[in-house]
Amino acid sequence: MMELSGMMRAIRIPKQLPIPQNAVVDKSAPYNSSVEYGFIHPVSDFFEEGYWPNGIQQTGPLPVVNLYGSEPFGRTLPTLPPASIAVRAPQAKQAFVWKTLFNTPAIKVTIGLLIGIGLLYLVSRFVDVPTTLGVLRQNLATPGGIILGLLSGAAFLTAFSVRGIRWKLFLNPIGNVSTFKAIQLFLIGIFLNFLLPVRGGQVAKSLILKRTVGIPVSQSLPTVAMDKALDLMPALFIMAVAPFLGVKMGMTLWLVLGAVGGLLIGLIFFVALAAWKRAAAIAFLQKITGILPRAIGGKFEGFATGFVDSFLLGASRPKIFIPAVLLTCVAVIFDGLFAMLAFRTIGFPISFATAIFGYTVYNMFYILPTPPGQIGSNEFVGLLVFHVLLGLPANKVTAMFVFSHPWAALLMSASGMACLSALGLTISSAMKIQTEGENALLPPLPEEQRQQCINVL
């Protein structure tokens, strides 16, 4: 700047003076120190001479301080191009705005409803809707249809109540929770999962448990994961043994069972490897998921490691794990009874083997998020499983799910709101808890904390 303005500096060269006897020479001092290598610089030596503006003439000359340390005056440093920062900042801000917008509950509900309506439209293109409604009118108005419908509702609630008892087994080592309260919390979680597209009901159970009983979320959340892991194993096992259940096998079903059988064998191998050497199991899984897109591979890896960790944590205590497996079998039996009775309600009886197989496969799809109130997803997935895989008539399958969907919704809503009221909560407070639960999702446990959980259980 001085050179460009024509104001060239004139710096007085310091004179070498004799060093007094009492002077201490410090060679580690800065470059512009007053004592250096035999030179003693008076203060006046650090003043610049030449032209000074009026303001500086009034205040007097100022000492020149070298801000660059040992570097000479006037050396220019390379400048960074500000263009990239200016371009990236609006992009990052725009991405943040879109991410925040899509994470709002209203947008999620709207998108979920649109997806559900689209699924209903697809179902209507493959099904004769007037014939389906005629089947419902013909059977639901009869005394037999009403009794069968009530029995199916009892089986539906019993299946979830048994799962609540199973969860209570995992809660026993960390707190004193009554069986009835565990069932209440489980039904609340099912209700919240049904109501909104984001399946945060599992975490909401832990948050409500902390509020009502005082058990920390960090202790109860692993029990929720262990409880959910047990629902997947029977599904894989039943699908693998489907040929021995008397289910009518088609080419599509054989292909699905082949894929499921391979998945089951791979899962057993991965669980055994993780129990032996977890680091080797994670490295092996990362190699497999590396062939997938990053977003899909990351989610699959997180799901697989979470499932295996939860399964191993549960299996580390056989006195809890074995009764939990037996209760899972009981719950799956009641699931099959619900499906069989629901088909009989609309006047189309099916075998128990077909019902338990089809409904178990049907439930596997609900690992994924669903539209609000499961609108469209129930009918679409039910048609895919019972019609495409098992070959049942499309009109009968659609009639069954048109009946069972609002019936199950009524049961889940009534039981969930009754349990909320018994615990002193409302739907709005439950929604708030679920939103907090979505933000409270925990990453996979580190190795040390995982070992601590095993020791606790």
How many other CB atoms are found less than 10 A from the CB of residue 446? 9
Same domain, 142 and 11: no
Higher pLDDT, 63 or 217: 217
Residue 86 inside a domain? The answer is: no
- H-state helical runs in 6-69: 54-59
How many other CB atoms are found less than 10 A from the CB of residue 109? 17
Which tokens sit at 168?
């209570």
Average pLDDT, the chain: 71
Overall domain count for the chain:
2
3-class DSSP assignment, residue 177? coil
Which tokens sit at 419?
């349990």
CA distance 34 to 19: 12
pTM above 0.85, yes or no: no
3-class DSSP assignment, residue 279? helix
Higher pLDDT, 349 or 68: 349
Same domain, 28 and 156: no
Quickly tell me which residue has 């890896």 as its tokens: 301
Q: What is the pLDDT of residues 277-326, one digit of tens each?
A: 778 877 877 777 777 777 666 766 776 776 677 667 766 778 888 899 89
Residue 68 inside a domain? The answer is: no
Same domain, 142 and 219: yes
Residue 12 one-letter amino acid:
R
Same domain, 36 and 158: no
Residue 96 inside a domain? The answer is: no
Same domain, 260 and 397: yes
DSSP-derived letter for residue 53 is -
Same domain, 312 and 176: yes
Least confident among 8-12, 116-120, 375-379: 8-12
Residue 232 inside a domain? The answer is: yes
Quickly tell me which residue has 């832990």 as its tokens: 206
How many other CB atoms are found less than 10 A from the CB of residue 329? 12
The answer to whether residues 191 and 201 touch, using CB atoms and an 8 Å cutoff, is: yes
CA distance 270 to 264: 10
Residue 142 inside a domain? The answer is: yes
Same domain, 125 and 9: no
CA distance 254 to 261: 10
Q: What is the pLDDT of residues 413-450, one digit of tens each?
A: 999 999 988 888 877 776 666 555 544 444 444 455 44
CA distance 283 to 273: 11
Q: Which of 44, 59, 74 is the last residue of a domain?
A: 59
DSSP-derived letter for residue 229 is H
Which tokens sit at 305?
């490691």
CA distance 165 to 178: 9
Q: What residue numbers bound the domain in which 271 lies?
A: 101-456
Same domain, 48 and 113: no
Same domain, 137 and 239: yes
CA distance 273 to 275: 5
Residue 204 inside a domain? The answer is: yes
Higher pLDDT, 30 or 357: 357
Same domain, 298 and 352: yes
Cβ partners under 8 Å of residue 71, min gap 6: none
CA distance 455 to 447: 12
Same domain, 37 and 112: no
Residue 426 inside a domain? The answer is: yes
CA distance 33 to 40: 9
Same domain, 51 and 130: no
Residue 224 inside a domain? The answer is: yes
